[in-house]
Amino acid sequence: GQQVMQIPQYQHVQEGEDFTTYCNSSTTLSNIQWYKQRPGGHPVFLIQLVKSGEVKKQKRLTFQFGEAKKNSSLHITATQTTDVGTYFCAGRTDSWGKLQFGAGTQVVVTP
Amino acid sequence: NAGVTQTPKFQVLKTGQSMTLQCAQDMNHEYMSWYRQDPGMGLRLIHYSVGAGITDQGEVPNGYNVSRSTTEDFPLRLLSAAPSQTSVYFCASSYTRMRGDYGYTFGSGTRLTVV
C-alpha cells in the first residue's frame, strides 16, 4: 500500500537558521498537502501542490513537489520561534484516494 | 462559521466502557473522517465518510464504529474501551475531490485516556 515517509522526524533549529524537511512516497501522488500542528493544537492546512515540479511560497516557507510527483519538501528560511510545531505532509494517489499522512517532522527552535 | 466542533475535549474511561465522540461541521463538507494521533506515529485514519449514509474503514478501524445520518454530524463510537485506545482523536472534514482539492479542516481534538 501507499507509504508516505517524512524525514527528519525531529529538527532542532537555532533562530535565524534555515532548514528543510522532506516527504517521500512509495507511489506516484496526484497531489500533496502540508499541515502544521502547534504543540497541544490541531493540524492546520498550509498548502496543496498538484503539478509536477510545482513550487509555492508562503512568506518564509517554500514548498516544492518533485518532478516525478513522489516527493516533496518544505524549506523554512530565517526560522522564528513561531515556526515551532510539527509539520505533516499528506499525499493522495487518485481522485477518490484518502489522504495518507506522514509521521511528521517536529521542529524545535531555540532563541 | 464554527468549523469543525468536537466534544468532549477530554475524557477518561475505564476499560470496557463505551462512549461516543461527537463531531459536527457547519461548512457543508461532504467528506468527514476520524484520525487518531499517537506519539511518533502521525495521524492514522480510523473511519471516513464521503456523504450521508456512506461510511468506510480506514487503516485502524477495529474497536470503533461510525455512522453518518446527516451531512453535518459524524460520531465515533468506542464499543468497549481498551488502554490501547488511549490517544488524541481528531475529526476532519473537507469538500470531496469532485469539487476540487481542498485541505482538511480539523477539529480541536478529544484527548482520551482509558484506564
Over chain A (111 residues), the average pLDDT of each successive run of 10 is 86 96 94 95 95 96 97 98 96 76 94 89
Q: How far apart are CA B89 and CA B84, in angstroms?
A: 13
Residue range B46-70, pLDDT digits in tens: 999 989 999 999 999 999 999 999 9
**Whether pLDDT at B101 is above 70:** no
Longest dimension (CA), chain B: 43
Chain B residues inside the 8 Å CB shell of A90: 43, 104
Q: Which residues of B3-42 are buried (b: 16+ CB within 10 A; e: fewer)?
A: ebebeeeebebeeeeeeebebbbeeebbbbbbbbbeeeeb
SS3 of chain A: helix, strand, coil, percent, to 5 = 5, 55, 45
Residue B42: its pLDDT value, please?
87
Residue range B5-49, pLDDT digits in tens: 999 999 999 999 999 999 999 999 999 999 999 987 789 999 999
Interface with A, mutate which of B97, B108, B111 (most A CBs under 10 A): B97
Chain A, nearest residue to B6 by Cα = A42
Residue A59: its pLDDT value, please?
96
Chain A residues inside the 8 Å CB shell of B58: 98
Per the listing, cell 528560511 goes with A77
Residue B26: its pLDDT value, please?
96
Q: How far apart are CA A32 and CA B41, in angstroms?
A: 19
